[in-house]
Amino acid sequence: MSEELLTVIVPCFNEEPSIARTVQGVVTVAAHLPLAVDVLMVDDGSTDATAEMMERLCEQHPRCRARRNPHNMGLGRSVMSAYDEIPARSWVTVIPGDDEIDFQSIHNFLAVRDQYDLILGYFQNPVIRPMRRRIASASFRQVTRSLYGFDFRYLNGMKMYRIEVFRGIEVNSSGYAYTAELIAKAMLRDPSLRIGEAPFIARGRAYGKSNAFRPGAILNAVYEVVKGQRSVARYRERVIAADVELE
C-alpha cells in the first residue's frame, strides 16, 4: 500500500435506513485499494437517528469518524465544511449516504489519478435514472456550457480530487448550481488545473423520492444558477485584477 490517502466524505440528511449499507460498501471496497482510506461521515442536521447510526459505525470501523452540522447546510456546504479535517495532499471523494453510488466505481478514478488533479464522474449506466431526471440533467448541462464554457459530460455526480483543488474557495449558490460555481472558481484560481473524467455506476434510489421536480425547486434552481454565475463573474474580475498587479 502506498502512502497516499483517500478521504471518503459521506454527507447525510435523514439517511438512517441507508447509512450503514453505504459505509459498509465503502469499507469493503477500501480493503482492496492500493492506498489508505478514511471515512468521514457528516450529519447535516438530521432529525432521525442518522447521528446515532454514525456513532455505531465509528465503533465498528476504526477508520470511520463523524461530525455533525449544527443545522441543515445543504450537500455542498456540508462537504466543504469538512475540508479543514482532511490532511494536505489527500485525495477526496464524496459518497452520499443514500447508497445510490456504487463505490466499486472508485477503481476507474484511481486508475487515472496520476494524470489529473480533479476527476469528474459521468454515468456509466444512465438508464438507471428516470427519463425526467435525464432530461433535467441535460438541460442543466446546456445551461452551464453557455454560462461557463464547460464541455464536461456531468458535474453533479461522483468525483475525486486533491483537497487543495477546492479548499479555501467560497461558494454563494446552492443545490445543483453549487458544483458548477465551485469548479469555475477552481479553474480561475489555477488555470493549469488538470481535469479529467471517469465513469461511475449508480443504483436506483431505494428510499424516498427526489424533490428536484417540484415547481418551487425548479424556480429555486434557476435562481441559484444565476446567483452562482454572478459570483463567478465577480471572482473573475478579482483574479484578473490580481494578475495585472503582479505584472
- pLDDT (tens digit, 0 to 9) for every residue of the chain, 247 residues total? 568 999 999 999 999 999 999 999 999 999 999 999 999 999 999 999 999 999 999 999 999 999 999 999 999 999 999 999 999 999 999 999 999 999 999 999 999 999 999 999 999 999 998 898 888 888 888 999 999 999 999 999 999 999 999 999 999 998 889 999 999 999 999 999 999 999 999 997 655 555 555 656 778 888 899 999 999 999 999 999 987 776 6
Q: CATH 3.90.1150.10: does it fit domain 5-171+192-208?
A: no
Residues recorded for the chain:
247
Domain boundaries, the chain: 5-171+192-208
Query: Of all residues in the chain, what percent are helix, strand and coil, respectively (each to 5)?
Result: 45, 15, 40
Reduced to 3 states (helix: H, G, I; strand: E, B; else coil), residue 200 is strand
Dihedral sign computed on CA atoms, order 120, 123, 129, 134: positive
Stated pTM of the model = 0.92
Q: For residues 136 and 44, what is the distance between their CA atoms, to the nearest angstrom?
A: 25
Grid coordinates representing 173 are 449558490
Q: What is the pLDDT of residues 183-225, one digit of tens each?
A: 999 999 999 999 999 999 999 765 555 555 565 677 888 889 9
pLDDT digits (tens, 9 = 90+) for 223-234: 899 999 999 999
Residues 6+ apart with CB under 8 A from 28: none
Distance CA 192, CA 137 (A): 28
Which grid coordinates belong to 240?
484578473
Report d(CA 11, CA 8) in Å as an integer.
10
Here the cell at position 15 is 439517511
